[in-house]
Amino acid sequence: MKYAKYLRSPLFLAGCMSIALTLLIYAPFALRASSFWGIPLKDSGMQQIYSNWDGPNYVLNAITNYEPAEIGIRAFLTRPNEYYAAHFPLYSWLIRAGAPVFGYWWSALALQIVSGVILNLIFYSFIRTRSKHALWLTFAFTIFPPRLMVLRAVIAPELLLTASMLAALLLWQNNKPLFAGVMGIVAVLLKFQAIILVPVFAITIFEHSLRERKIHIPEIIGAGLPLLGYGVVALFYFFQFGDWHAYFVAQNMVGMGMDVPFSMFNYAKKWVGTNVMETAALYFIGMIMLITKLAKGFPRVYFWFALGYTAMLSLIPQVDIMRLAAPIAPIFFLGFHSFFESKLMRITLILALPMLYLYTINFIMTNQAPIADWSLFQ
């Protein structure tokens, strides 16, 4: 068969894994089931997918292109127009680009499916440099950690963010600093947290200069390029909101500014509000283990990224820490690839699939934005 070799290629299979999982998650909603495994689905179909945070915010931004007057007409939340500046524009621009063909909601879902494929392709290319079981590890990464399963289905920029940051790190490791810097620009246009790439790259340059006693100009340029991403956002916000720093204003407005280390363990914080934080503690223990693991025997850029990103996360008072930690998940597979390759872990993940699937359905049903009037999104 002419195309048989392509259908059997690892990259094709890696992409199909993400598509299959996403469609499987959509199935009970697309079929408008009233319940699944006893979980009430409210018989409202794909609206349960559309309304998952922060999807409606990105779609609204796509419709309005951050125009304050339009936001005032269509906003479904009683918050100042500047609140929407908290969501960086590239993801909304991509939704807007596909809207003339698909409409805004279907454009967002198509973008999410494509994002999952892109992430799996980059992850496979990344992990095969360290493991002979890259295809299995890609499958494991597709379903674990479980919060990433949710992100593959709902409208959110974290998949593209993770893909672009991973690509930037991989290109930097492969001595392509200018291309790494360009991917850093893409990452920053998606979410501000990607700015951590700048100090990470800068530290590796400092180590190179100490070791080789010379400075490479392309590395310096590449390390600084992600700052252009924020420059584009700041300029865009200046024209739309009249404020270069609208993002920081929005962050402070909603109580998501930087705080003291490990502030997510304070129940009084606005985005915490609970004492049930064992998962966050476990995630941080895992990240500390990763930092220790990467200290020797791995490219230094991954060690510095794990250290810097973990330090940054510790300052964010947010209960949903794994969503913010999505970009570090591929690095975790790098550090512990031998564990994930083991027969024990293969059996465990396969047996855990029903549990992970039910977790995803349950999370989607309990993470809904309060949309009373869907006509606002037309």
Which of 41-45, 297-301, 305-309, 369-373 shows the lowest per-residue confidence on average (mean pLDDT)? 41-45
pLDDT in tens, 129-175: 999 999 999 999 999 999 999 999 999 999 999 999 999 999 999 99
Which of 247-261, 286-300, 358-372 shows the lowest per-residue confidence on average (mean pLDDT)? 247-261
Strand partners, 35: 40
Residue 372's pLDDT band, with cuts at 50, 70 and 90, is confident
Q: Which pLDDT belongs to residue 4?
A: 63
Mean pLDDT of the chain, nearest integer = 93
Q: Which pLDDT belongs to residue 6?
A: 65
| Type of residue at 177 | P
Q: Are 26 and 153 in contact (CB under 8 A)?
A: yes
Distance CA 149, CA 143 (A): 6
Average pLDDT over residues 121-132: 95
pLDDT in tens, 317-350: 988 899 999 999 999 999 999 999 999 999 999 9
Average pLDDT over residues 282-294: 96
**For residue 121, which of 160, 92, 175 has the smallest C-alpha distance?**
160
Ordered by start, the domain boundaries in the chain are: 4-31+45-364
Instruction: Let me know how long the chain is.
Output: 378
pLDDT in tens, 108-117: 999 999 999 9
pLDDT in tens, 187-197: 999 999 999 99
Residue 76's pLDDT band, with cuts at 50, 70 and 90, is confident
Distance CA 112, CA 131 (A): 27
**For residue 122, which of 94, 156, 164, 85 has the smallest C-alpha distance?**
164
pLDDT in tens, 18-43: 999 999 999 999 999 999 999 999 87
Q: Which pLDDT belongs to residue 7?
A: 67
Q: Which pLDDT belongs to residue 216?
A: 85
3-state secondary structure the chain: CCCHHHHCCHHHHHHHHHHHHHHHHHHHHHCCCCEECCEECCCCCCHHHHCECCHHHHHHHHHHCCCHHHHHHHCCCCCCHHHHHHCCHHHHHHHHHHHHHHCHHHHHHHHHHHHHHHHHHHHHHHHCCCCCCHHHHHHHHHHCCHHHHHHHHCCCCHHHHHHHHHHHHHHHHCCCHHHHHHHHHHHHHHCHHHHHHHHHHHHHHHHHHHHHCCCCHHHHHHHHCHHHHHHHHHHHHHHHHCCCCHHHHHHHHCCCCCCCCCHHHCCCCCCCCCCCCHHHHHHHHHHHHHHHHHCCCCCHHHHHHHHHHHHHHCCCCCCCHHHHCHHHHHHHHHHCHHHHHCHHHHHHHHHHHHHHHHHHHHHHHCCECCCCCHHHHC
User: And the tokens for 206?
Assistant: 């400092």
| Type of residue at 22 | T
Residue 214's pLDDT band, with cuts at 50, 70 and 90, is confident
Q: Which pLDDT belongs to residue 1?
A: 54
